[in-house]
Amino acid sequence: MINDLKHKATVTGLFCHLSYLYSVYIFMEMNRDLHKIILLVFTCLFMYWSDAQSLEKTDSLQLLLTTAQNPEEKVDILLELSDEFINNDPEKALGFATQAYHLSEESDLTKGLANSMISLAKINWTITDFKTAMEYAERANELAEKMDLLKEQALALRITGLIYIELSNFEKSSRYFFRSLKIFEQIDDKQGISKLLSDIGSVNFYQDNNEKALEYYFRSLNIAREIKDKQGIARGLNNIAAVYEAINDYEKAGKYFLEASIINRELGNRLWEGINYMNLGTINQNLENYDSAYQYFTKALDIFMELQSRILEARCRLNLANYFMETGRFEKSMEYAKDALEEGRKYDLKQVIHDAADIIQKIYLQNGNKKKAYDYLVLQYQMKDSLVMMENKAELTKLELQYEFEKKEQAKQIEQQKKDLFILIVIISLLVALIIIILILARLRVKSKNALLRQQRLEQELEFKKKELTANVMSLMKKNEILTAISEKLMTIRNQAAKEETRAAINQISKELQKIIDKEIFEEFELRFKEVHTDFYERLLERFPDLTPSEQRLCAFLRLNMTTKEIAELTGQRASSLETARYRLRKKLGITNSQANLVTFLSRI
């Protein structure tokens, strides 16, 4: 059974879950306004949040598990343990859910099997394994529908809708949410209805349909108040506040954020209390209530530091840096921005590094220190390139999943069509057997051909995306050639400069630029190459473990069917050196036949 996850008083669990949310935040920040990102984080966290539970509960459940004799009772305990661990130890949660699945299968417990698959779908969705999550959700839905388990069917449909939201397929997510809502209404499950109304509101909000989003959020909030579900109330207040912030109605947004913070303080949800304070700080800054903004930001920072929530602590420091820069206190702004930058580097938070570098370079530029401003501008652009790469990788993953899901749906549709047509053939064959059978078979052939053509078109689109990635890498390399030329021109200018300090400065810039060029070419090439040819390096090293990194890179160039001249232009090596390297590579790969083609050999790995 899918319930909101229990919040654990462990810093590790919070940090792991927020790390996932931050990866979503990075991708969304490249494509949507900030208020959309805030709502995404709200939605994800509230889907998992429930009343705080003591660690004693897991100990008592494990004790009960050792004494339980009834398989049905054991399955219920295993699933409850899975829910207890999902927030801070997904691997352990997965283990308990898997045990429940196998025990249900062995004991022929239909309801336990459906709930186990829902739990496995939920856990895999949490760790962003959407493909596995979808498989379990679909299987759970089929079993629940077959055995008339209405609540389990509604929960499975909701998980499917949540997966489609992650893939930005709002049409399909809405379709599954409304099917789930209809079942929850049928069984009069008020908590389920409240959550589904909130989900549908979010779908509208992501598509800028703010009026409709507010309608669903208020309906969700009213039901949560009716059943006295405080977590649901806090969720609804935050969602409504996010919509009002999106339409720049900061007075109303502040009112709802404040009310949510009071409820979270009553519940002891310290993390959410801090998030509410941080949002209130932003709202008050927009309203130019600077004293209030500062108080809320510092309250939020104290909570995040107490919880050791590094991502939110870094974001709060950036908010304070922006606050001090806006109020003209550049020294304090620099202090908070550098603290955030240090946190970003420590935990590899690229968006934090990017934003901190942006603030710092603006302050240095304001103070007239162009050299320092340039250094941080370079860092900012490095992070921007990394974020773009992450975005492209996420887009490719989404396309592949969409392709696979659509292909499976088409296969199901074809299968269903075949069943329907078979029944139709049997019925009509009693009246006009031969003629009707011929017509139906002809129709089936046409449909199968059309389905095959659609499938081929999808495969061609995926192949085009792979070629497009390779083209992007080549484009980046061309850009780096231009940067190399710029570096050489800088060296010429340096030699003509009159002052020693000018020559030294230009020399330093040239060296840094060259360092960036050399590093960026190979890192970007290898990253893009691995996106398209995922397992090439693993398969290559499995067969030939003695290959050096440079030989592996040469294999990658040849795998792309690049000529010696093209490789030389990209790497700066002489053609003769590359020919020697190719000869040595052939020996290491065991290609003794001089007629054998090295490129063909590598393309088969």
- pLDDT at residue 453 tops 60: yes
Q: Per-residue confidence at 253, pLDDT binned at 50, 70, 90?
A: very high
Identify the three-state secondary structure at position 405.
helix
CA dihedral angle for residue 132, residue 133, residue 138, residue 140, rounded to 10 degrees: 110
Lowest-confidence segment of 350-359, 476-485, 559-568 by average pLDDT: 476-485
pLDDT band of 517, cuts 50, 70, 90: low
Which pLDDT tens digit goes with each residue over 22-41? Answer: 433 443 343 444 444 444 44
CATH number of 536-603: 1.10.10
Token reading at 124: 């895999």
The amino acid that residue 228 corresponds to is K
Q: What is the pLDDT of residue 507?
A: 80
Rounded-to-integer distance, Cα 320 and Cα 310, Å: 15
Q: Where are the domains of the chain?
A: 55-176, 373-530, 536-603
**Cβ-count burial of 48 within 10 angstroms (0-12 exposed, 13-18 middle, 19+ buried)?**
middle
- C-alpha span between 244 and 434 (Å, rounded): 66
Write down how long the chain is: 605
pLDDT band at 3 (very low <50, low <70, confident <90, very high): very low
Give the span between the Cα atoms of 478 and 556, in whole angstroms.
18
Provide the token pair at 514: 């060259």
Mean pLDDT of the chain: 84
The pLDDT of residue 292 is above 80: yes
Among the listed ranges 25-29, 114-118, 251-255, 514-518, which one has the minimum average pLDDT value? 25-29
Let me know how many helices (H) and strands (E) the chain has, helices first: 25, 0
- Residue 580: how many CA atoms within 13 Å on its side-chain side? 5
Q: How far apart are CA 197 and CA 216, in angstroms?
A: 5
Which of 120-134, 173-187, 236-250 has the lowest average pLDDT? 120-134
User: Cα–Cα distances in Å, from 468 out to 445, 528, 582?
Assistant: 34, 10, 28
- CA dist 267 and 352 (Å) reads 30
pLDDT in tens, 82-102: 988 886 688 999 999 999 999
Query: What is the per-residue pLDDT for 315?
Result: 94
Least confident of 2-6, 107-111, 226-230, 288-292: 2-6
**pLDDT tens per residue, range 31-77:** 444 444 444 444 444 444 443 443 567 777 878 877 888 999 999 99
The residue written with tokens 């966290």 in the block is 45
Fold matches, 55-176 and 536-603: no
User: CA-CA distance, 339 to 357, in Å (whole number)?
Assistant: 11
Architecture of domain 55-176: Alpha Horseshoe (1.25)
DSSP 104: H
The token pair at 576 is: 């003769």
Exposure string for 346-364, b = 16+ CB within 10 A, e = fewer: ebebbbbbbbbbbbbbbbb
With beta carbons less than 8 A apart as the criterion, state whether 355 and 318 touch.
yes
> Residue 518 — very low, low, confident or very high, per pLDDT cuts 50/70/90?
low
Q: Residue 316 half-sphere exposure, CB side, CA atoms within 13 Å? A: 28
Question: Token pair 């709202």 is at which residue?
Answer: 283
Among 377, 371, 340, 372, smallest CA distance to 358 is for 377
Residue 513 to residue 535: CA distance in whole angstroms:
32
The reported pTM is: 0.58
Among 40, 48, 39, which residue's Cα sits nearest to residue 241? 39
DSSP, res 9 = S
Tokens of 568: 């030389």
- CA–CA dist 254, 250 (Å, integer): 6
Residue 156 and residue 140 in contact, taking contact as beta carbons nearer than 8 Å: yes
Residues 587-599 have a mean pLDDT of 85
SS3 367: coil
Estimate to the nearest angstrom the gap between the alpha carbon of 11 and the chain centroid. 21
CA–centroid distance for 512 within its chain: 33
Lowest mean pLDDT among 119-123, 196-200, 409-413, 466-470: 466-470
Residues 6+ apart with CB under 8 A from 180: 154, 155, 157, 158, 161, 192, 196
> How far is it, in rounded angstroms, from Cα 204 to Cα 341?
35
- Compare 570 and 382 and report the one with higher pLDDT: 382
Please report the pLDDT score of residue 455 as a whole number: 84
Mean pLDDT value across residues 327-336: 95
The mean pLDDT value for 267-275 works out to 90
Judged against a pLDDT cut of 80, whether residue 165 lies above it is answered with yes
Q: 245-259, 350-364, 504-518 — which is least confidently predicted?
A: 504-518
Cβ within 8 Å of residue 78, ≥6 positions away: 65, 96, 97, 99, 100, 103
Provide the 3-class DSSP secondary structure of residue 3.
coil
Between CA 45 and CA 41 the distance in angstroms is: 6
> Could you give the CA distance from residue 117 to residue 115 in angstroms, rounded to a whole number?
5
